[in-house]
Structure 1
């Protein structure tokens, strides 16, 4: 099933539920409507979809919770709308400003279609042009934020175009011989990086795991005949490259040099334990809260983890304590972890779950 959320199909469902609530309020219905709506749906569709009958209480609790939360937001949004309508009429204008429509959308979740309908009832139109511009500016700010975190991606992109992608060896090896295909020192492509300089190295092959899926990147050392780089972070780069961020701690490094890349084994092992813990925690949460409780984000780091998941209400303290007890008991069993590669289709038959927002190839691990 699908639960209301802020992304993908969950967001579509949330918009549908909010539109239903909005319609009810505009018709003058102030009492909760989801209970009766769900009851009618189950009555009409329950025979064809018996899972609706089996999970009726659960569906009602999710829908009613969504209505209750949006109800408060709707009232606050309507207050702002009424204030903006009054301002427009005081000025003798028949246009609701694009700024007001954007704020209603961004802060209170009012779709512009709803705002236009409400405005029309007041004899106003919405400044769609300004609204569209503000939405585009917001999207651009998001893109710019991603670019700021690109770690000299433009320069590395040039290196990738010339040298090709980085081969990853880290599942089998924590140390590997490689060639330095590119050096970026203090944000610019360089022919040499000297002791004390912040540096990005690109190798033709690497045992360093690049940050992904919530798991932090590896740290370690890269040694060349002329210098040593202490790697503090590893991230995916453009063109299939791997970015090794760090500082030159001795000598100097140059493109074209042979190198020995060595991952901090203790740190990797600690991160792997956190990774396994995340899977066990996810399984335990779904077991106690229901199949809808899916991972929505995580941080997997040495010695610690953060696990985000979707649920329609705050999890009671006693349930959280039960999750902790069960997960810790599973971890204490210290069962062996067996990793293997297979097709996506077979992995799903074995209970593997694809997480929304993650990209997978035909072969998965």
Structure 2
């Protein structure tokens, strides 16, 4: 077998399929673009769904790619098994209605066995097939020449994940030899397709030939497709004769760096330590790529997964003796390994390091929180006279704080406790089931439709500089059927030979307008325009009078609406550049909406945006508007556009021919949308709001032109109303008036606090004299009225100064809510803990709480329970 690097194998795969007429697609961002059904890009086909469901027809029906992917449903198995990863690379070749089984199977065999390519020994390859798929078996037997011993029927070789394309698949296995199988030759799973280590699945060829319909039936696809996937890590492990995927050139440089950081611990000397090496190496790859693709740690969605991966890595680092920040030092190693095919990791290295370092520092604080919870669990166990940490608590530490089960077991063992592993596993399985249920939705495709994919008429968009044209109606679709006529009252889809109507894309909303016949009568209202699978502008029309294929109609775009949209679109470009100038180059676009009445711009940023930064952006945009910069467009090839410095939407794919929009020398972007001729046409720009909308993603909403003027008028009216409310003669006096009112209120509050303190001092003489005793402890309880928690704490301070008793408990009801405080003299906290007492009595007022041994507090929602709660103090002390 050839000696090949992982980079060699990637290149060979792409070169092979390029030689078969395939277009090489670059790896897409791990963060899905315009696909809300996916949390991550999780396979090679995930970025090509639009081709497989027929919503878009590709320029070339033959496609190949090496796609970085993330799957996180089995994170706990990473490092334990030989092949589980969070980030992996999927090698794939795809046919969209072009070649099928007769070509796909022999080509796959050629790539694997021909000496020009991988050169695998054919005797070591086995295949499986779906029993009813006799064509596949015939091809393997007759065209490839495999014997029956190398062709295995497996009942579950049918790829089906719900509605959409599905079909039988054939898997290719590599025999790694007897040294990878158990000594027991009678193992029923010891065959290609069984659960074993000897026969390693390396490639799966899926033949999509059916539509899984929403009603559960299966119908033949209008166009049959091929979708294949081969894990790079597995192939590399075979070529490099590695026991597992981790002993390959994809991981070993990272592992060697971890050894250097760990010092005494070396890889391969201890199985438990090896798990930690593997977990860290796997997770830092996934985290580096994901952050480079602008996913950021957070408490939800993909951001939560990143946070969990980083925290697991830190905990495993500690198990190796690394007790400082260290993950950031592995990022350059990942970047060097992947630089040939994924230069973006090295390009974003500084940003990735900054995010990981911030997250590591944050976790150092969280570790202490986790330990506090663990010790609290230990206290509860001791009080209950048990010896077992509940599985639910162990799982919470694992899932929320990143504590591996082994770490909790170690701490438990020090205390003489064990951990309920079965309960932990039940919680883990519940989480897996939730993830699996979510994936059933995530992975689904749309069902292919026949009509749209087969429309092959020419249609040209001329709406950059024309808003009214005459054009012939070429295609008329009524209820998914081609027709020649449509009648009033129907809603139809139409395609014209030429159109001025912009189809919704790139964040810009659709044009709307009217269709008129040659007499000027309105025959239809255009309500929406989208791109058909073959790229034509597909108009949705509410028919007012009859429409006929072949007739010429006047197409008239709503000019006022379009004018507002163009102002907002050009302003969006200016805002994009102003964001980078103000926040830094990491602030990349993460989505946008260009509507007639406002614009919305989402961007990645790992912190708050200050008021000063917003003002700076707004000032920059307005200055560029008032500088009257010319807006020019240029159609060129993608490489030329990149040389010019044109910004692209992060993660978006572009063809060879692109349109570049320049606003003076300030902004240059790839864009197919509509724009003003000069920046001064925008008039004025105003940021209306800024907020966080998800994991490291923030949103700015803004208005321009008349909408901005309306916004200013609204704020002026609000300011005038405020002036009247504070009795200011002019609006410029509002701030002074408010400051005066605030100072007056502060003085009143101070006077009120002084009176309250004096009253409390008088009351306390009576309160602290009513001491009761039980079981050798003295205690005071008191029911206050209309007091907040601050007042109760002040009361507790006075009690502590007077040293009136061992225990003091005070409760108050204010606005229907209960405040409850328990205090214990410091020399009594070994016998009595305020936190235990508060947990005992808080449920009686419908609440809960906790605190330190010497002071604890709680809230509640049932004031009627206060007498019972205070009575319970004496009973508890007596016990």
* Shared fold (TM-score, shorter chain, > 0.5): yes
Distance 1:195 1:174 in 2: 25
Equivalent runs, 1:14-53 vs 2, <5 Å: 18-25=308-315, 35=325, 37-38=327-328
Report the equivalent of 2:535: 240
Matching of residue 167 in structure 1 with residue 466 in structure 2:
no
User: Helix, strand or coil for the counterpart of 2:654?
Assistant: coil
RMSD: 4.8
Distance 2:309 2:557 in 1: 52
* Greater relative contact order (Cα < 8 A, sep 6+): 1
> Which has the larger displacement, 235-244 or 186-195?
186-195
Distance 1:196 1:70 in 2: 65
Q: Which runs of 5+ in 2 are unaligned?
A: 1-28, 32-38, 42-288, 297-304, 335-347, 378-390, 410-418, 660-879
Report the equivalent of 2:744: none
- Alpha-carbon displacement from aligned partner over 1:302-356 (angstroms, at most 9, x marks no partner): 2421000001112112211211111122122231101111121121122102223
- Alpha-carbon displacement from aligned partner over 1:23-70 (angstroms, at most 9, x marks no partner): 3236768xx9885544x569999xxxxxxxxx9997665224445489
Matching of residue 349 in structure 1 with residue 649 in structure 2:
no
User: Helix, strand or coil for the counterpart of 1:274?
Assistant: helix
1:281 Cα deviation from its structure 2 partner: 0.3
> Which has the larger displacement, 273-282 or 238-247?
238-247
User: Helix, strand or coil for the counterpart of 2:580?
Assistant: helix
User: Helix, strand or coil for the counterpart of 2:631?
Assistant: coil
Q: Which runs of 5+ in 1 are unaligned?
A: 46-54, 83-95, 102-106, 148-152
1:201 Cα deviation from its structure 2 partner: 1.7
Report the equivalent of 1:49: none
Report the equivalent of 1:137: 440
Larger Rg: 2
Structure 1 residues 116 and 302: CA distance shift in structure 2, 3 A: farther
Structure 1 residues 42 and 261: CA distance shift in structure 2, 3 A: closer
Which of 280, 290, 298 aligns to 1:10? It is: 290
Distance 2:30 2:359 in 1: 8
1:227 Cα deviation from its structure 2 partner: 5.5
Matching of residue 305 in structure 1 with residue 604 in structure 2:
no
User: Helix, strand or coil for the counterpart of 2:632?
Assistant: coil
Which of 244, 258, 270 aligns to 2:564? It is: 270
Equivalent runs, 1:170-189 vs 2, <5 Å: 170-185=463-478, 189=482
Distance 1:20 1:279 in 2: 35
1:170 Cα deviation from its structure 2 partner: 2.1
User: Helix, strand or coil for the counterpart of 1:338?
Assistant: strand
Contact 1:230/1:247 (CA < 8 Å) preserved in 2?
yes
Distance 1:241 1:301 in 2: 22
Contact 1:163/1:204 (CA < 8 Å) preserved in 2?
no
Contact 1:178/1:260 (CA < 8 Å) preserved in 2?
yes
1:215 Cα deviation from its structure 2 partner: 0.6
Equivalent runs, 1:303-342 vs 2, <5 Å: 303-342=597-636
Distance 2:480 2:364 in 1: 46
1:212 Cα deviation from its structure 2 partner: 0.6
Matching of residue 259 in structure 1 with residue 539 in structure 2:
no
Structure 1 residues 344 and 129: CA distance shift in structure 2, 3 A: same
Which of 491, 496, 516 aligns to 1:223? It is: 516
Contact 2:327/2:356 (CA < 8 Å) preserved in 1?
no
- Alpha-carbon displacement from aligned partner over 1:195-246 (angstroms, at most 9, x marks no partner): 3333322223222111111011111222245852111221112222212123
Contact 2:311/2:363 (CA < 8 Å) preserved in 1?
no
- Alpha-carbon displacement from aligned partner over 1:133-164 (angstroms, at most 9, x marks no partner): 535412245x45xx7xxxxx83xx51552443
Which of 579, 592, 605 aligns to 1:285? It is: 579
Contact 1:65/1:313 (CA < 8 Å) preserved in 2?
no
Structure 1 residues 266 and 277: CA distance shift in structure 2, 3 A: same
